[in-house]
Structure 1
């Protein structure tokens, strides 16, 4: 058994960017690391440096020609039009940038490392750079070049685990992971996401031909509604499936302060969901995902790490943590005059509300 939760990170994310105008121009993993250290929640005993996945490791799920194309895009910093169109690389969504192979291969390497460790030991591992849930076997999609959740889960299964429960809390449907395990009854995939948002999949009646469950939620989705879904759907489904491991994709783009959804959660709601879901199996892998406001995603993911360690993140920030937060910049309009609580708190104010009839119907449908 692992003696403590482990945090997998890398310095590659500190200087790497998808490009100045891309939503992933912001620092995310490095902010979560810096905040966790500044709050006294992360020390060297819990931190592991992520390896970079090799082409052979990536080929456990991804097409080798596609892998070679991503490597060529990094080496040449360009692709011919045919390859660009075939593999969806070199466009605004999935640009060619300096680390276009090394960065996603490192995120995948972290989930592969976690998968190997969890196949051998019970415990908790956190890889906030992971959660690239849109990646397809032979093309990039939705800012995701490789699919690290699929690779991590396959590693656990290859290592002898028999059942894995995957829960996706990102604002966008976890289509790539659902696709990856559509015909595999060893993996139950469940996605909670905003209805009618890209990639426009994951309707409540869609089950991908197998075990998959989808909970497309309405705009202004609040803390009380997520708590209801956790208690009435995600936890019962997990108990029924009785998995050896649970994987939680904890994208921060469902938060009220994020520009890429119209949902309304506080980070407290995600922390509470992670705390509950992590009790479902003796092995837990928590991943990042979306999140496009540097303050909200950094604070959320640092709080996830605290939660996994049994620490209440609702505490005053340390001077060092406030310094980390005040050093962030964001070119979007919301970043020009940020509210003071983005600098001085880790925990958002709660955002409770009425549990709407739409939520009740969605839960009833997935539990049928």
Structure 2
């Protein structure tokens, strides 16, 4: 099989949602720079993301919404009516100079990935994973929903069994709203319970196509491993997907400011390592993540894992320089933990599996058995 491909763009460099927004931090540029500093991203494996055309976006999003998003970028403002209808110019989804071009580039990357996967393989689009976007409005920092566009494109290729797995700390409400009840689709989401957007309850079946496993605050690596081996992998094996879309939001790790889960990044690496062999096609996406060091290290480690590269215990100087150059207004002048700049792999964070996780998995396994 051909080597995995990485999709990136320079539009992420210097583009942010504003100085006070959680997405003021660099994410994709850190992954590109750190991967190159490690010698893991040769030119032959890199593809520049195209910007999705408006017509391609309307495979899911409404024409009126796409037009409103373009107009908001062009003029730098929206009317009260557009704000109310489309969720633009809010604290979560502010106006900024690249507010159409940047998400359209992320969407274009995921659509390109589906084309590159036509004959099999693995493609990584860390700028993707914007799973909260709705058909007619922005939501949760997500102006467009590239996972939905990718899933629809894969089905349009003639595939009949696809799986979407989402291990972001926040429930993939936009994907579920768009794709619930789709024949041949399996959706699995693990996410923090009682966390925005307050959807994805254990009893929510996504019209028979989904499994939602809310995780209690403080869930750690062993909770993640239990969910992976007792729920996610058995469900995938039973479904036998022709393609898997895996969203790996980095906000489930302990250091993230927008969740209270306590994973190390090893949980993500282990999930990828076990999930990737279960389908001939894998689209790996980014997602949430609001600590620049934990996001950059985690998403770079995913790229290493996808390629089978050994992750060293100590980084060479060029890689350290990439991480040392990062800053974060939320931390101010607070000293950074040494491992944020000297390593990629976190120290594991084990613990007893929470009773709520065992009970949730048991409930979902019983539901799975009833449908076999």
TMscore range, shorter length: over 0.9
User: For 1:122, which of 113, 120, 123 is the aligned residue?
Assistant: 120
Q: In 2, are the aligned partners of 1:329 and 1:335 still within 8 Å (CA)? A: no
Q: What's 1:360 paired with? A: 358
Q: What's 1:327 paired with? A: 325
Mapped partners of 1:238, 1:8: distance in 2: 25
Q: What's 1:46 paired with? A: 45
Q: What SS is found at the alignment partner of 2:278? A: coil
Question: Does 1:5 pair with 2:31?
Answer: no
Judge which range, 334-343 or 189-198, deviates more: 334-343
Mapped partners of 1:12, 1:112: distance in 2: 17
* TM-score, with structure 1 as normaliser: 0.98
Number of equivalent positions: 366
Structure 2, gaps ≥5 residues long: 367-372
User: For 1:132, which of 116, 119, 130 is the aligned residue?
Assistant: 130
Mapped partners of 1:335, 1:5: distance in 2: 38
Mapped partners of 1:5, 1:215: distance in 2: 30
Mapped partners of 1:117, 1:335: distance in 2: 44
* TM-score, with structure 2 as normaliser: 0.97
Mapped partners of 1:336, 1:324: distance in 2: 19
Moved segments of 4+, more than 3 Å = none
User: For 1:315, which of 313, 316, 321 is the aligned residue?
Assistant: 313
Q: What's 1:80 paired with? A: 79
Mapped partners of 2:124, 2:332: distance in 1: 29
Q: In 2, are the aligned partners of 1:185 and 1:210 still within 8 Å (CA)? A: no
- Superimposed CA distance per residue, residues 74-118 of structure 1 (whole angstroms, 9 cap, x where no aligned partner): 000000111011100001100010000000000000000011221
| 1:147-296 aligned within 5 A | 147-296=145-294
Q: What SS is found at the alignment partner of 1:320? A: helix
Q: What SS is found at the alignment partner of 2:163? A: strand
RMSD: 0.9
Mapped partners of 2:282, 2:236: distance in 1: 13
Q: In 2, are the aligned partners of 1:330 and 1:336 still within 8 Å (CA)? A: no
Structure 1, gaps ≥5 residues long: none
- Superimposed CA distance per residue, residues 197-230 of structure 1 (whole angstroms, 9 cap, x where no aligned partner): 0000000001122211100000111111111111
Q: In 1, are the aligned partners of 2:219 and 2:354 still within 8 Å (CA)? A: no
